[in-house]
Amino acid sequence: MMLHTLRKSLARIALIALLLLLSGCSMLRLGYDNGPQMVWWWLDGYVDFSREQAPHAKHAIHQWFGWHRANQLPEYADWLAAIRSRVDGPLTPEQVCSWSDELQTIVAPAFDHAAHLGTPVALRLGEPQWRHLEKRYAKSNEELREDFLQPDPEDRLRAAIKRTVKRVENLYGDIDKTQRRLIVASLEASPFNPEAWLTERQRRQQETLRTLRQLAAESAAPELATASLRKLIAHTHRSDDPDYRAYQLKLAEHTCGFIARMHNSTTPAQRQHAHDKLKGWETDFRALMMDSRMQTALE
């Protein structure tokens, strides 16, 4: 689904500090400054825009980044500062979940604005783009199977441990054997179900393709198209399937508990590492904000 693809792409840029856990602040700034080109390459790989469609897509991406830099980065920086002020002490699962809820509220306008700017682009798509998108979905789903659905349960667990340890150590630094056992126990008890995730992902992909084709067939008005795109984005956040939504909530609760337990197991040195990492991301966001203001002043 193009909107699912766009949503993931924007999330990667908007929340790059947390979702990608970059190893250095300069990388965050470099990644964001090159964001429009990165998003273009990524989206074009999914959609394969025609020569006529490409300028409109590039323009929408640049518009979104200009808006995002001015309107969203200050909120990200403040959010990181608030978390940084709490990492020296213990955390509760409720606190972690509240931060997650705050983040969803903060980033919601970014997805809403993406739907608005993406509407003219989506309405220009045709059968060649949809067929290309279907093929790219099949490839990405196969990649998901390789990464998360290993036939051997032990291989699947080892892969999950490796991913989780890497993410934890990027924030806290090296962990000890006790902390590694905590990670293993949490993963073994996790309700995470990659089969259900893949099934829901495929369902959302098909729903997005149906929506895009329907909008084109009906020559939908821009307002109706934007509303449809926003609905697709909303259902990616909160599934419209009751059973899967219940699963999402259960998984979120488990994840918040794991993050709190992991944090509470850390040493003062590890918490200082996390503090410094968050401070670096915050500083970089504020530097990017200043870059935007200086550019505006020169125009």
User: pLDDT, tens digit, for every residue of 256-266?
Assistant: 999 999 999 99
With 50 as the cut, is the pLDDT of residue 140 above it?
A: yes
Average pLDDT of the chain? 88
Asked which of 1-5, 53-57, 275-279 is least confident by mean pLDDT, the reply is 1-5
Which whole number is the average pLDDT over 242-267? 96
For the segment 11-29, what is each residue's pLDDT rounded down to a tens digit? 443 443 343 333 344 556 7
| Torsion sign across C-alpha atoms 221, 225, 226, 231 | positive
Give exposure, 102-139, as e/b (b: 16+ Cβ within 10 Å): ebeebbeebbebbbbbbbbbbbebeeebbebbeebbee
Confidence class of residue 32 from pLDDT cuts 50, 70 and 90? confident
**Is the model more confident about 196 or about 291?**
196
**Is the model more confident about 11 or about 222?**
222
Which whole number is the average pLDDT over 251-272? 97
Q: Tell me, what's the pLDDT at 289? A: 86
Which whole number is the average pLDDT over 27-46? 84
Q: Tell me, what's the pLDDT at 124? A: 95
**Is the model more confident about 9 or about 40?**
40
Confidence class of residue 290 from pLDDT cuts 50, 70 and 90? confident
- CA pair distance 79, 102, nearest whole angstrom: 8
Q: Tell me, what's the pLDDT at 77? A: 93
Which whole number is the average pLDDT over 115-127? 95
Q: What is the pTM of this model?
A: 0.87
Q: Tell me, what's the pLDDT at 31? A: 75
With 60 as the cut, is the pLDDT of residue 238 above it?
A: yes
End-to-end CA, the chain = 37
Neighbours of 293 (CB within 10 A): 11
Q: Tell me, what's the pLDDT at 15? A: 40
Give exposure, 6-18, as e/b (b: 16+ Cβ within 10 Å): bbebbbbbbbbbb
Which whole number is the average pLDDT over 183-204? 97
For the segment 102-111, what is each residue's pLDDT rounded down to a tens digit? 998 999 999 9
Q: Tell me, what's the pLDDT at 171? A: 94
Q: Tell me, what's the pLDDT at 292? A: 58
With 90 as the cut, is the pLDDT of residue 164 above it?
A: yes
- CA pair distance 132, 50, nearest whole angstrom: 11
